[in-house]
Amino acid sequence: MLPDMNPPPNLAGPLRLGYIIAGSVLVIWGIFYAAPGLTRDVLVIIGAAVLVEGLIGFCVVRAMLGLGGKKESLQP
């Protein structure tokens, strides 16, 4: 049997929506408004990464910093 490979979500509610909106804006800005070249490519790549993180609900940077995720219950 294979181990569970799904990471626990560490983005919730408004933060997740913010990631989706920010990623969409960066991708659209990169495709339609940025000057051709490296700037356009970087905006699209970063925007796509942020958009995917928002859609799946997991951010690698927040996981490395220990932010978000489920909190331990303090009940006895």
In a domain, 35, yes or no: yes
What is the average per-residue pLDDT within 11-32? 95
In a domain, 42, yes or no: yes
Contact call for residues 23 and 52 (beta carbons, < 8 A): yes
Contact call for residues 47 and 26 (beta carbons, < 8 A): yes
Residue 7, Cα to own-chain centre: how many angstroms? 13
Q: Note the pLDDT of residue 1.
A: 72
Q: How far apart are CA 14 and CA 3, in angstroms?
A: 31
Q: How far apart are CA 56 and CA 15, in angstroms?
A: 12
Q: Which domain holds residue 29?
A: 13-65
- What residue type is 47 in one-letter code? G
The pLDDT of residue 72 is above 60: no
Q: How far apart are CA 63 and CA 60, in angstroms?
A: 5
Q: Note the pLDDT of residue 71.
A: 55
What is the average per-residue pLDDT within 36-64? 94
- What residue type is 31 in one-letter code? I
Residues comprising the chain, all counted: 76
> Domain total for the chain?
1
pLDDT digits (tens, 9 = 90+) for 28-44: 999 999 999 999 999 99
Structure-model confidence comparison of residues 3 and 34, the more confident one: 34
